[in-house]
Amino acid sequence: MATFYDKYGGEETIAKVVDYFYDLILADETVNHFFKDTDMEKQRRHQTKFISYALGGPNQYTGQSMAKVHAGMNLQPEHFDAIVNHLQAALEHFGVGAGDIDDALAKVGALRDDILYK
């Protein structure tokens, strides 16, 4: 069975989804302040590798654990939910099927406890 990664065109497509995803995030005052001091070009590359791996692509993710990355941010449920909603919108925008979106969001949801309240 083809992975989500293969089914939708691999890292090239995921990079487009990530770009659109961050455009939505940066336009959202609920969460954009978390990225005010972030090198967004580096962040987009890093996130593309992470999401590619999470969706069945090769493991090129060399970053820190989710808990470490989000330490000191004190992310609350409304922040997490806003990010998830933007990811869903980005996946829908690029024609990803509902079942595949549900699978992707379930994988992201599994990280919730590693991200919140750190």
Q: What is the mean pLDDT of each run of 10 residues along the chain (118 residues)?
A: 87 95 98 96 92 83 84 95 96 92 91 93
The 8-class DSSP code of residue 89 comes to H
Indicate yes or no: pTM above 0.75: yes
CATH of the domain at 103: 1.10.490.10
The total number of structural domains in the chain stands at 1
Whether 93 has a binding-site annotation, put simply, is no
**DSSP 8-class letter at 57:** S
Cα 78 from Cα 30, distance rounded (Å): 8
Task: Please report the pLDDT score of residue 72 as a whole number.
Answer: 92
Biggest CA–CA distance in the chain, Å, is: 41
Q: What is the pLDDT of residue 112?
A: 93
Range of the domain at 60: 4-115
Q: How many of the other CB atoms lie within 10 Å of CB of 88? A: 18
CA–CA separation, 32 and 24 (whole Å): 9
Q: Is 79 annotated as a binding residue?
A: no
